[in-house]
Amino acid sequence: MKIRLGFVSTALAIYNNTPSSTFTYKLFSQRPSEEALQHAIAVGRKNLNATMRILYYNAAHGIQLFRLSSSLIPLATHPDVDIDVAKEYREELQRLGAFAREHNMRLSMHPSQYTLLNGKDAVVAAAVRDLEYHAAILDGMGLGDEAIINIHVGGVYGDKTAAMQRLVDNFPLVPKHIQRRMTFENDDKTYTLEETAEVCRRMKRPLMLDLHHDWCNPSETSPLEMIPFIRESWDDIPIKIHVSSPRDEKDFRAHHDYIDPEQLIAFLRRCRELDVPQVDVMVEAKMKDLAALKLAEDLGKIRGVKRLDGAVLQW
């Protein structure tokens, strides 16, 4: 079984290189409209160039899994700005995608918790715009369906059953070319792994398991028992999961700097027993790339595990 580890948004080992430089609407509105638009576009270009540096770093360190920042293009979805991402950044996106494909890197995106498909009409409309923005980036890179856009089930709004049904009913509002990229993740307070699996089953979309979230908000069925369904939900795309560790007992939901591998090892061992061919593991830790490489080192010490590259292992 192949195991690939990745990290989120930015590489801490690269000095002074952020893919999330901002330009607020307040600052935008204080400038002449064309000047403000060009500045917003320039900030986006700077963020994409910073992302290119991160991909170079990943290739040099044997990291084949990476989640792109959702803040690459500031104000891209604001109705008064409305940047055409595919047009303005055509060359940058093509360059990023070509490099990712050349180095067998799987890229993904994760919109914020405010991207909800089961809220009021205005909330859903805003969510669809946000999903269109994320898809424009991945489509502009020329990436396949393995480059996913992951969101949570959404709010409860006083009636969890009705809220789950509203998500299923609203899903067709998302354009089909975006639907094919979408996955849904269990969260740490409301929708359990079993409940998330139910909406994934009904919408025929992959389930993104978050081990830490299940620890905070457990189902009666354990993640180990859910592996057959998780694998089936991803079809022929390698399954992808999220892993993080609690900061401490008091702040259990917050992420630690690094990963305690015990919970992940149990999951991976069961995947191996069930002949899962590959598991992609997104490390959600404060130390980002450094945490992913440290986890690879820790996993490489297990008897029978061979470290093939910086963050790629075989078990």
Least confident range of 4-8, 33-37, 145-149, 186-190: 33-37
Q: Within a 10 A sphere around the Cβ of 33, how many other Cβ atoms?
A: 11
Q: What is the mean pLDDT of residues 28-49?
A: 94
Residue 225: CA atoms inside 13 Å, Cβ hemisphere, count?
A: 9
CATH superfamily of 2-314: Divalent-metal-dependent TIM barrel enzymes (3.20.20.150)
CB 25 within 8 A of CB 78: yes
What was the pLDDT predicted at 217? 97
Q: Where in the chain are the domains?
A: 2-314
pLDDT of 149 above 90: yes
pLDDT at 252 over 80: no
* Selected residue with higher pLDDT from 230 and 250: 230
At 273, is the pLDDT very low, low, confident or very high (cuts 50, 70, 90)?
very high
Long-range contacts of 160-163 (CB under 8 A, 24+ apart): 160/190, 160/191, 160/195, 163/118
pTM above 0.95, yes or no: yes
What pLDDT shows up at residue 293?
98
Give the model confidence (pLDDT) of 156-173 as tens digits: 999 999 999 999 999 999
Paired strand residues for 209: 241
Amino acid present at 230: I
Q: Which of 66, 81, 76, 22 is nearest to 46 (CA)?
A: 22
Query: Averaged over 222-230, what is the pLDDT?
Result: 98
DSSP string, 93-154: HHHHHHHHHHTT-EEEB---TT--SSS-HHHHHHHHHHHHHHHHHHHHTT--TTS-EEEE--
Cα 231 from Cα 263, distance rounded (Å): 18
pLDDT at 251 over 90: no
Q: For residue 173, what is the DSSP state? A: G
Q: How confident is the model at residue 253 (pLDDT cuts 50, 70, 90)?
A: confident
- Cβ atoms of 216 and 189 within 8 Å: the answer is yes
Q: Tell me, what's the pLDDT at 39?
A: 94
User: In Å, how far are 55, 92, 149 from 95, measured between CA atoms?
Assistant: 11, 5, 20
Tokens found for residue 309? 């590259």
Predicted confidence (pLDDT) per residue in 301-315, tens digit: 999 999 999 999 999
What are 43-74's pLDDT values in tens digits?
Answer: 999 999 999 999 999 999 999 999 999 999 99
